[in-house]
């Protein structure tokens, strides 16, 4: 059965973190357009409220690495939406520094947000997802979690950890809940804006991937949409590269 465009998430109740920018915002916009009820989480309050108001969805401002705050946000979302059947963990931060210039505070912060955040949201949402007809969790990791490079040690460690966490958790879930990691390559968002500035030494577009361009947040959101519908019923415990074809 093919579900009509605009209704692919009709009746679903989904929490999206990192919804105030980049890929999280693109997920929020696409999921709202496909009929989902959403609770949008982000630490950047003003932009989050503006997006939530525009989409007619609910916003919760807060830090995904705050244990009590996440517990409250997830239980509040479930109360308001009448349950939770989907979770998309997009929020994350980048630390791009050689190890010898990375403070332990930098390391702990990126670990708390990129890995601690999904741990907390998943743990809080699991009992609710298990009550749903079918539940879906998507953890946005990174190509950097599959293959790393100098300058990304701390960040890559968190994303490799998130891929491993996703696989381990899949083995703890009943058959009605699916969990997958999405591993984007270079996507043009505020996080990567520095790469595309005129004087940036970081990037030659032809060397990024086989597509010879950065990806768009919408291209990643479409993969998240697929993973949130029954069309992906046999996809679970996967780490899906969305990279335009990476070279190594
Ligand atoms: N842009 C890329 O090329 C790329 C590639 C691979 C993976 N990723 C990952 O994709 C995700 C989204 O990245 P993006 O490029 O859209 O970045 P972005 O900076 O545009 O958006 C990230 C969002 O997360 C929010 N956030 C950050 N820390 C938070 C916290 N502690 N609590 C709640 N919200 C918080 C930010 O406020 C922001 O709205 C991140 O996890 C990132 O690591 C990005």
Residue burial 195-213, b: 16+ Cβ < 10 Å; e: rest:
beeeeeeeeeeeebbeeee
Cα–chain-centroid distance for residue 220? 9
Cβ atoms 155, 144 nearer than 8 A = yes
- Residue 17 falls inside a structural domain: yes
Average per-residue pLDDT for the chain: 96
Residue 23 beta carbon below 6 angstroms from any ligand 1 atom: yes
Residues of the domain holding 112: 13-238
Cβ atoms 89, 122 nearer than 8 A = yes
State in Å, rounded, how far the first CA of the chain is from the last one.
38
Cβ atoms 120, 89 nearer than 8 A = no
What's the pLDDT band for 83 if we cut at 50, 70, 90? very high
Selecting among 31, 119, 155, 165, the annotated active-site residue is 155
The predicted-structure confidence for 41-63, as pLDDT tens digits, reads as follows 999 999 999 999 999 999 999 99
Give the range among 119-128, 190-199, 209-218 with minimum mean pLDDT: 190-199
**Over 70: is that where the pLDDT of 69 sits?**
yes
**Over 90: is that where the pLDDT of 32 sits?**
yes
156: left (phi over 0), alpha (psi -120 to 50) or beta: alpha
- Provide the pLDDT for residue 115: 98
Q: In this structure, how many other beta carbons lie within 10 angstroms of the beta carbon of residue 188?
A: 15
Q: What is the mean pLDDT of residues 141-166?
A: 97
Cβ atoms 138, 87 nearer than 8 A = yes
- Residue 246 falls inside a structural domain: no
Number of folded domains that form the chain:
1
Q: What is the mean pLDDT of residues 181-191?
A: 97
- Residue 138 falls inside a structural domain: yes
E runs forming strands in the chain: 13-17, 37-42, 58-61, 86-89, 135-140, 177-184, 239-242
- Provide the pLDDT for residue 81: 98
- Provide the pLDDT for residue 248: 72
- Provide the pLDDT for residue 201: 65
**Over 90: is that where the pLDDT of 216 sits?**
yes
Angle between helix 153-170 and 117-131 (nearest 10): 20
CA 118 to ligand 1 center in whole angstroms? 12
- Residue 6 falls inside a structural domain: no
Residue 216 beta carbon below 6 angstroms from any ligand 1 atom: no
Which of 52, 73, 189 most suits a substitution to test ligand 1, by most atoms within 8 Å of the C-beta?
189
What's the pLDDT band for 2 if we cut at 50, 70, 90? low
Cβ atoms 117, 17 nearer than 8 A = yes
- Residue 69 falls inside a structural domain: yes
CATH of the domain at 19: 3.40.50.720
- Provide the pLDDT for residue 1: 59
- Residue 104 falls inside a structural domain: yes
**Over 90: is that where the pLDDT of 211 sits?**
yes
Residue burial 37-75, b: 16+ Cβ < 10 Å; e: rest:
bbbbbbbeeeebeebbeebebbbbbbbbbbeebbeebbe
- Residue 5 falls inside a structural domain: no
DSSP state of 192: G
Give the chain's count of helices (H) and strands (E): 7, 7
Cβ atoms 85, 14 nearer than 8 A = yes
Task: Please give the Cα distance from 57 to 38 (Å, whole number).
Answer: 6
Reported pTM: 0.97
Closest Cα to atom 40 of ligand 1: 92
Q: Would you call 194 a catalytic residue per the annotation?
A: no
Task: Please give the Cα distance from 136 to 226 (Å, whole number).
Answer: 11
**Over 80: is that where the pLDDT of 187 sits?**
yes
**Over 80: is that where the pLDDT of 199 sits?**
no
């Amino acid at each position: 059965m093919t579900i009509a465009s605009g209704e692919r998430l009709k009746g679903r109740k989904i929490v999206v973190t990192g919804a105030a920018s980049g890929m999280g915002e693109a997920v929020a916009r696409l999921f709202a357009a496909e009929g989902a009820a959403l609770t949008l989480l982000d630490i950047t309050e003003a932009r989050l409220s503006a997006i939530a108001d525009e989409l007619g969805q609910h916003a919760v401002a807060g830090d995904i690495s705050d244990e009590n705050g996440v517990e409250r946000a997830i239980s509040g979302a479930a109360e308001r939406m009448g349950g939770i059947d989907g979770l998309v963990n997009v929020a994350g931060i980048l630390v791009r520094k050689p190890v010898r210039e990375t403070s332990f505070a930098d390391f702990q912060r990126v670990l708390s947000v990129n890995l601690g955040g999904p741990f907390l949201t998943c743990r809080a949402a699991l009992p609710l997802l298990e009550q749903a007809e079918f539940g879906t969790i998507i953890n946005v990791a990174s190509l950097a979690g599959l293959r790393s490079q100098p300058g990304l040690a701390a960040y890559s460690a968190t994303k490799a950890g998130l891929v491993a966490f996703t696989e381990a958790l899949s083995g703890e879930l009943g058959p009605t809940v699916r969990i997958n990691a999405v591993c984007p390559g270079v996507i043009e968002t505020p996080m990567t804006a520095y790469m595309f500035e005129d004087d940036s030494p970081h990037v030659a577009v032809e060397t990024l991937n086989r597509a010879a361009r950065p990806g768009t947040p919408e291209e990643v959101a479409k993969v998240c949409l697929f993973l949130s519908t029954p069309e992906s019923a046999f996809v679970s415990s996967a780490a899906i590269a969305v990279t335009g074809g990476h070279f190594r």
